[in-house]
Amino acid sequence: MGETTFSMVYDTEAVLPAEIGKESARIMAYGDNNQELRAMNLDLLEEHRTRAAIRLAAYRKRMTQAYNKRVYPKVFREGDLVMRKMQHPGERGKLDDKYEGPFKVIGKAGVATYYLEDNQGKKGKRPWNAQHLKRYYP
């Protein structure tokens, strides 16, 4: 966000212990009118936080757009043939099949979950997420 957490709470930068013993620009700028400046900074604190929240919202929006640009959702319709990923491949080699099927999509359970049935018409006990499915082309 471009701000430290200390400045978001107190609207000023923290002075490090190493700076207290030395004559730094920050220490020399400390004067008698510091109480007035502090009161003015506290009045502007809410505006400072609002600007930071706006920057954070814009950052999140850019992140979401960048992520969604690369995501291609899998959408299946009823009657589509799909292969499903094997859940327990067991003692298989790396060149063996990783998917089993084909299965027929018989219904939609949620946003990206589908009910399947095999070639014999036996319905699955649970829905499958689309990330574990891929389209079957006979």
pTM above 0.75, yes or no: no
C-alpha distances in angstroms, 88 versus 6, 33, 81, 96, 97?
51, 72, 21, 13, 12
pLDDT digits (tens, 9 = 90+) for 8-31: 666 666 666 655 556 656 556 666
81-135 CATH:
2.30.30.140
Of residues 94 and 129, the one with the higher pLDDT is: 129
Structure tokens at 125: 């006990």
Among 44-48, 79-83, 105-109, 126-130, the range scoring the smallest mean pLDDT is 44-48
pLDDT, the chain, mean:
82
pLDDT digits (tens, 9 = 90+) for 50-63: 889 999 999 999 99
Q: Domain extents for the chain?
A: 5-70, 81-135
